[in-house]
Structure 1
Amino acid sequence: MSILPSSSRWPLYLAIAGLIVVGASVWYTNVLANKLAEIEKKNVSLYSQVLQRLQFFDPNEDDGDVMDDVSIEQEILANMETVPRLLVNSFTNEIDDAQGFGESNLDTLYLKSVLERWVESGVEPIQIDAQLLYVGESWLLQQLRYFPYVQLFLITSFVIIGVLGINQTRKAEQNRVWVGLAKETAHQLGTPISAIMGWVEHLKMMYADDDDIMEVSNELAYDVDRLSMVANRFSKIGATPELEPANIYAELNKCRDYMQKRAPRKVAFDFPNADAGNAQVSINPLLFDWVFENLLRNALDAMDGKGKLTGRIREEDTKIHIDITDTGKGIAPKNVRKVFNPGFTTKKRGWGLGLSLVKRIVQEYHNGKIAVSHSEVGKGTTFTITLPRV
């Protein structure tokens, strides 16, 4: 029997607690409604008796057998003012009088529809001479019967708002952890990067006449600059980046050029040239290069050293779509929606943070979208980035 992780238990507990509250409320409300209905039945019985008594009461007669004080009867009649009642002629089946509906000049068709509904629901009339008395439920009793549904709506809303609120709190806490981790990483990288840059410059000075060493030194310097840029990226997480117009063809080609030199020789790159178009988008080049770099690294890992990596740019009037396609292992259908979740990874090593950062950079910082537009196990995957066009 599997046990839910602690982070997943509280929504279940909250839902169970809500169901218990709703169930108890429905049961208790029904008990109260049934008791009120019994009281109204007794009142209806007294009401019918009062009507019959008053029909034979003549205040002008001086008869000791007949009460001349009808104050109790009047009190009973007053207590029935909120209960809807219909007096129907038993011979013509026409409505003679309607009381307790809270409205004057009620439409005859409406009253007939009410009478038909009562008859269909099994309301038993009371015979009073040549009239039939039909009595419905009071407004209070009707509201009491609907009250559990109102409670169900309120509790469900409370549960939903609670879940959303807790999720937002957890996301905010995760964001604070992300920002703290990123800034601490950037700080820790600063010292060794500075030291390596000094050693590279020293190497260039010592072996300025050795072409091979100078070539290696230049590549080392380029990689150190790249590492410095990575540290700078981490330092910018949590802050609002400055966006500037850029040609997406040139940005994609720049990242392709860097990754191609460090990719296995059996991997073929098919990307548009930097001058293939001039699709302007508003980006932070430092952060967006990180997006491309992560996608290309994941693609290279998925291809195990051989295959084809393709980049395509599709232009629309208001949007730019960038497709990154590999011929690697592909993503299982059950994992397609999980690839951007923090901590999700299919690799033996790794924290599963790359694509999560990519999604955050694209959506939160650049008002764009990123998704797995196509993937087939054993054949490859296509990631599509959509950005608003400048």
Structure 2
Amino acid sequence: MSRPGVARRIAWPRFWKAGLFVGSSALVLAVFLFTGQMIRRLTVEVRTTSSVLARFCAQASFPAATDLALQRIFAEVLSGIDFPIVLTDEQGLPRAWKGIGLDPALVPAASIDSLTMGLEISPVIRERVEWVRRRAADLDRRRSPIPMIQPITDARVGAVHYGDPEVLERLRWMPYLSVAGVVLLLALGLWGLAGIQAAEKRTIWVGMAKETAHQLGTPLSSLMGWIELLRARVEGVRDDAVVTIPAGELRETLSEMDRDVDRLSKVAQRFSHVGSTPSLQLQDVSPVVREAVQYVRKRLPGGGADVVIRERYDEVPPVNLNRELLEWALENLLSNAVSALDKRPAVIEVIVTRRAATEAVEVLVRDNGRGMTPVEQRRAFEPGYTTKARGWGLGLALARRVVQDYHGGRLTIRESAPGQGTTVVVSFPT
């Protein structure tokens, strides 16, 4: 039988991981696009600035120092540049530079003029000039130099050699660093999620083992009691003697033993459904609720003298359910309600009804016990969380899994406040 609601809930962790992957990919893509746009814009700005500088230098020609006004303008233009640049004349000799790691004051302009005229200069100055020329060649390998062309004669009077600003170099690394950061965060997130899931699984398995012992313990103890009762009948009697047991007593004993065996069979069926996909049948939920109430009522502390369980069963449409698993979940909810009772008279209300707004079939379990704080309500369904001194913290977690994962329903705490009791609602779609 198809259960789309269950399929959606079971597949939710996969969707969550897929959503995390898609979101991370979108973030990385956004970083790539933004960084690429910034790189293109800065590249255009650098190219434009270099072109304007080339036209300016072509108009002024070298040496610009012959005109003090041009010299001041030239110095102001260079001071506003934040990327490596070298200006060379028609002979390829550097005339000005910035951002290449050498102070221009260490190479006097007169020495460059001397080289232009073929005169000898200091070896130290010559080595510095050659270093600047090599640096200009390095810049040319990354960006093509911009020639300085005089507008009147079309003569080439020099070239502008330029590189990228430091911020542009950093921007180029940003996408890769972003990818590395996202991958690291994803790895840490998945590692943490795996650790949480592993801890939950350990808690669930420990709780399941204890729940198994608890579920099997009651019918086994009862069977052992009946066996001891029968053994007492034949204690000290010869092997060839005939033992007479009143028919009524024997029938009662066999009936109770049958009930205990049925209980053991039911427990086995319940645990066989855990981890698998149980079969659901369209049926009335009220008999299942009655059976769970009857089971809990027989096991009330003190024989139930101080505890009242009120029942109300409205007419509701049938729903798809697995009787054994749902009865198990309801027993856990009722047992939690009983354990929360801290006042007398103690009252538990069990109501089966249909919610008009959603047309869902609801099972309400309401008690007038100690209630829960908002923090306790948020953590109530966590595996291993309990406020009881001897609790295992599995009852509500197991009940929610049965209701939501297996039946496609919802298990929620509708109302609760310290000292005012709790109302838990099981809701089934129709």
TM-score when normalising by structure 2: 0.53
1:311 equivalent in structure 2: 350
The residue aligned with 2:227 is: 199
- Aligned residue in 2 for 1:122: none
Please give the secondary structure, in 1, of the residue aligned with 2:392. coil
**Structure 1 unmatched ranges of 5 or more:** 1-36, 59-66, 84-136
Cα distance in 1, alignment partners of residues 197 and 53 from structure 2: 68
Percent identity of paired positions between Structure 1 and Structure 2: 26
Number of equivalences: 289
Alignment match, 1:234 = 271
> Of the two structures, which has the highest relative contact order with CA contacts closer than 8 Å and spacing of 6 or more?
2
Q: Which residue of 2 aligns with 1:131?
A: none
AA of the residue aligned to 1:333: P
TM-score by length of 1: 0.58
> For residues 236 and 46 of structure 1, what CA distance do their matches in structure 2 show?
76
Could you tell me which residue of structure 1 aligns to residue 417 of structure 2?
376
**2:58 corresponds to 1:54:** yes
- Please tell me whether residue 350 in structure 1 is matched to residue 391 in structure 2: yes
From 282, 286, 308, give the equivalent of 1:245: 282
| Cα distance in 2, alignment partners of residues 254 and 365 from structure 1 | 20
| Aligned equivalent of 1:265 | 305
Out of 311, 328, 332, the residue aligned to residue 373 of structure 2 is: 332
Letter in 2 for 1:269: I
Match of 1:9 in 2: none
Q: Distance in 2 between matches of 1:180 and 1:350?
A: 12
2:329 aligns to what SS in structure 1? Answer: helix
- Contact 2:413–2:423 (Cα < 8 Å) also in 1: yes
Distance 2:196 2:188 in 1: 12
Aligned CA-pair RMSD: 4.8
Query: What is the CA-CA distance between 1:69 and the residue it aligns to?
Result: 4.9
Q: Equivalences for 1:113-192 in 2 at 5 Å?
A: 141-142=167-168, 144-145=170-171, 151=177, 155-156=181-182, 158-160=184-186, 162-168=188-194, 170-171=196-197, 174-175=200-201, 178=204, 182=208, 189=216
Cα distance in 2, alignment partners of residues 80 and 349 from structure 1: 73
- How far residue 293 of structure 1 moved from its aligned partner, in angstroms, is 0.3
Alpha-carbon distance between aligned partners in 1 of 2:370 and 2:222, rounded to the nearest angstrom = 39
For the pair shown, which has the larger CA radius of gyration, 1 or 2?
2
Task: Give CA-to-partner distance per residue, 1:309-367, whole Å, 9 cap, x none.
Answer: 11222345563222211111111222111111122111121222211211221222222
Q: Structure 1 residues 202 and 322, CA, compared in 2 at 3 Å: closer, same or farther?
A: same
Q: Mind listing any 5+ residue stretches in structure 2 that lack a counterpart?
A: 1-41, 63-88, 96-135, 146-162, 234-242
Q: Summarize the Cα distance change of 1:268–1:198 in structure 2 as closer, same or farther, 3 Å threshold.
A: closer
Counterpart-to-counterpart distance in 2, 1:364 and 1:358: 10
The answer to whether the 8 Å contact 1:369/1:386 transfers is yes
The residue matched to 2:385 in structure 1 has which SS?
A: coil
